[in-house]
Amino acid sequence: MVAGLLLVTGGAAAGVFGALLGLGGGILIVPLLTLGFGLPLREAVAVSLVSVIVTSSAAASVYLQRSTANLRLGMSLELFTASGALCGGLLAYAIPERVVAGLFAALLAYTAFSMIRRREPAPPAAAGAAAGTRATPGAGDPPSPAPAAASVADRPSVADRLSGPGYRVRNLPAGIAGALFAGVVSALLGVGGGIVKVPVMNLGMGVPLRVATATSNLMIGITASSSAIIYLLRGGIDPYVAGPTAVGVFVGASVASRLAHRVDVRILRLLFVVVVAYTAYEMLGKALA
Amino acid sequence: MSASQAAGGPGPGAAHERRLERAVGRLLSLGTLAGVVLLAIGVAGMLAAGLAPLTTVAPALDLARLAADLAALRPEGFLWLGVAVIIATPSARVATALVGYGLEGDRRMVGIAVAILGVIALSVAVAMATGA
């Protein structure tokens, strides 16, 4: 009973942290289950994928109803994230857990580093995109030509068809490569892969940051389910662990979305960086043990 | 259909796209809620029965037993069904988009949706063929 409640509480904490800092829960759930509860890394990854699908589906439903996510672009790229996740799911059973632990330590270190470097989000007025309207480019977005030239063409190109109001998708091959890599990372490490997809879409493809974040969330569901199926059918998911963790993450993320405007994210981010850096050190120890 | 219409500009294509996005969003919302409610019932049953995660050996997924487990209100039935619903929800979203784009006559997006579902089917086949 105590272990069940601890899993719910731990999942809720991961959900709160993840939602407030704009991360999927996976980056916190995997270390929580391996270092905190002693679960084998592969099982922790499988449980994390279930939780990641819950949070991404919940968030994507809101983004779609507000037209923030680009459904066409998301579906076009998720074909490749799903393919990458299929390969990653098979790879996870082929490589030693120590290697996976080492890769996870590197991912944690990179996440902590990017959290330190992250700029404060632009105020809503500056971002110029109210909830309930289609997203437009905001502060911090790379210059991206509007699709005006494309719309006069009789037969719009693939990139034109995937573009949105105020921005034109470019460099599709880079997006495809990034999506494939994100899929492998997601399946292997039990994370959403947004840490790869968002920069690729935003900086590489000219998609505004808000749209890239929302579209990445949409894609995570299919990406994670492609590999979760492999873990599920190979007996890699423990329902007694997945249930309490996923419920906790869902509750935590829901609470956080209502608390977001009352919390000083700078302090939270500092705390997160310390926790993640320590977790990276512990994971590295596991890899080298 | 022009790019501006597809992306949200004026025109019947854009209105169809908005309807499709809303339908897909509602499906994701419903699927997530259903999955989480099933998991919550399973967790409550698990705690009430004194089953300790991490030390109790989890029952394997057995589709033939699922209905009997649910009828007997066994926690593992609700937990497995919840996990299955959550994992299936994104695929259901792609299937809904496939129908929507099919009605719109957008063959490219229909092809992409079919290909995504093909990758998911391949995941199932590969996992079953190489299972533990």
**Interval A53-74: pLDDT, tens:** 999 898 889 889 888 899 999 9
Choosing among B83, B123, B126, which should be mutated to test the A contact, i.e. which has the most A CBs within 10 A? B123
Higher pLDDT, A198 or A247: A247
Percent of chain A exceeding pLDDT 70 equals 86
Stretch A158-177: mean pLDDT, rounded?
87
Structural domain span for residue B76: 15-129
* Count of domains forming chain B: 1
pLDDT computed for residue B81 by the predictor: 96
pLDDT score for A130:
35
Q: Does A169 touch chain B (CB under 8 A)?
A: no
Structure tokens at A156: 């719009």
Residue B103 counted as domain residue:
yes
* Within-domain flag for B120: yes
Q: What pLDDT is stored for residue A162 in this prediction?
A: 85
- Quickly count helices (H) and strands (E) in chain B: 5, 0
User: Where does the pLDDT of residue A118 fall: very low under 50, low under 70, confident under 90, or very high at 90 and above?
Assistant: low
pLDDT tens for B73-110 read 999 999 999 999 999 999 999 999 999 999 999 999 99
Task: Verify whether the Cβ–Cβ distance A227 to B123 is below 8 Å.
Answer: yes
pLDDT of A262 strictly over 70:
yes
pLDDT at site A111: 83
- How many interface pairs between A and B have CB atoms less than 8 angstroms apart? 222
- Report the pLDDT averaged over residues A172-184: 93
Which residue in B has a C-alpha nearest to residue A47's C-alpha? B83
Q: State the Cα–Cα distance between residues A84 and A181, nearest whole angstrom.
A: 6
Q: Looking at the predicted structure, is the pLDDT value of residue A124 above 80?
A: no
Q: Between these two residues, A137 and A92, which has the higher pLDDT value?
A: A92
Chain A positions touching B123 (Cβ under 8 A) are 82, 85-86, 89, 226-227, 229-230
Distance from CA of B67 to the nearest CA of A (A): 16
Q: Which residues pair with A167 in a beta bridge?
A: A164
Query: Residue A133 pLDDT more than 60?
Result: no
B60: nearest CA partner in chain A: A235
**Nearest chain B residue to A160, by CA:** B3
| Residue of A66, A2, A25, A50 lying closest to A254 (CA atoms) | A25
A82 → closest Cβ in B17, B42, B119: B119
Query: What does residue A167 show for φ and ψ, rounded to 5 degrees?
Result: -150, 155
> Which amino acid does the sequence have at A98?
R
Please check whether residue B93 lies inside any domain of the structure.
yes
Please report the pLDDT score of residue B98 as a whole number. 96
CB contact under 8 A, B89 and A72: no
| DSSP 8-state symbol, A157 | -
Cα A55 off chain centre by: 9
Residue B9 domain flag: no
A156/B2 Cβ within 8 A: yes
The pLDDT value recorded for residue A128 is 36
**What is the reported pLDDT for A134?**
46
pLDDT at A131: 35
Hey, is the C-beta of A43 within 8 angstroms of any chain B C-beta? Answer: no
Q: Break chain A into its structural domains and give their ranges.
A: 2-118+139-288
The residue with greater pLDDT, A84 or A256, is A84
Mean pLDDT score across all residues of chain A: 82
What pLDDT is attached to residue B12?
Answer: 61
Measured between its terminal Cα atoms, the distance across chain A in Å is 32
pLDDT at res. B10: 52
Residue given tokens 């699709």 in the structure block: A147
Q: What is the pLDDT of residue A50?
A: 95
Please give the pLDDT value at position A44: 93
Q: Is the Cβ of B63 closer than 8 Å to some Cβ of chain A?
A: no
Contact B83 A242 (CB under 8 A): yes
pLDDT at A144: 52
Whether A243 and B90 lie within 8 Å, measured CB to CB:
no
Confidence of residue B3 (pLDDT cuts 50, 70, 90): very low
Q: Which helix (H) or strand (E) holds B94?
A: helix B75-104
Distance, CA of A237 to CA of A240 (rounded, Å): 9
Is B53–A244 a contact, with Cβ atoms under 8 angstroms apart? Answer: yes
Hey, is A164 helix, strand or coil? Answer: strand
Asked if B129 is an interface residue toward chain A (Cβ–Cβ < 8 A), one would say no
Q: Does B111 touch chain A (CB under 8 A)?
A: no
Task: Look at A105-114, A118-127, A156-165 and tell me which has the smallest mean pLDDT.
Answer: A118-127
Q: In this predicted structure, what is the pLDDT of residue A275?
A: 81
What chain A residue is nearest to B88 in terms of C-alpha separation? A225
